[in-house]
Amino acid sequence: MKDIQPQDRLVANVRHDAFAPWINADGSDSGTAVLQLGDRAEMGVGFHIYRMAPGTSSEAHEHRGDEEFFVIEGSLRDNDGTVYRTGDLVLLKDGTQHYSVSDEGCLLAVYIHKAETNL
């Protein structure tokens, strides 16, 4: 077995590394941010860490492919009132439409297959 070469390994720490701000479709700062390794997919597609500051929300969107996420810390409330808490593993199926609010802030591990469509 060959050793992994330095150029073939990317490491980031959610406590110490910089997140990129997530910018809304209208150009405004959403108050949310993404930490994503690699540059093979556009920001927010594939596997990434998503952080929402207290009182922020995502834009209303439709999923093009399933979205899976794990709530690492905090909580998240969907527009239909469903609340996801620390430790919840969630799958939202292709075609679902929603937006989410985090009253206390949250940190999520997310996998999105394709870019979402804003509503």
Rounded Cα distance between 65 and 92, Å, is: 9
pLDDT for the residue numbered 68: 97
Overall average pLDDT of the 107-112 stretch: 96
What token pair was written down for 18? 């910089």
- Distance in angstroms (rounded) separating the CA atoms of residues 25 and 74: 25
In contact, 97 and 119? CB cutoff 8 Å:
yes
pLDDT, the chain, mean: 93
pLDDT at 40 (0 to 100):
82
Q: Provide the CATH number for the domain formed by 10-118 in this structure.
A: 2.60.120.10
- The per-residue pLDDT for 103 is 95
The model's pLDDT over 74-103, given as tens digits with 9 standing for 90+, comes to 999 999 999 999 999 999 999 999 999 999
Model confidence at 112: pLDDT above 90: yes
What's the pLDDT score for residue 58? 92
Say if CB 19 and CB 33 are below 8 A apart: yes
Nearby residues of 75 by Cβ (< 8 Å), 6 or more positions away: 83, 84, 85, 86, 102, 103, 104, 106
pLDDT at residue 41, as a whole number:
83
Bridge partners (DSSP) of residue 110 are 48, 69
Counting beta carbons within 10 angstroms of the beta carbon of residue 102, is it exposed (0 to 12), middle (13 to 18) or buried (19 or more)?
A: buried
Q: Is the pTM of this model over 0.85?
A: yes
pLDDT single digits (tens) 28-55: 888 999 999 988 888 889 999 999 999 9
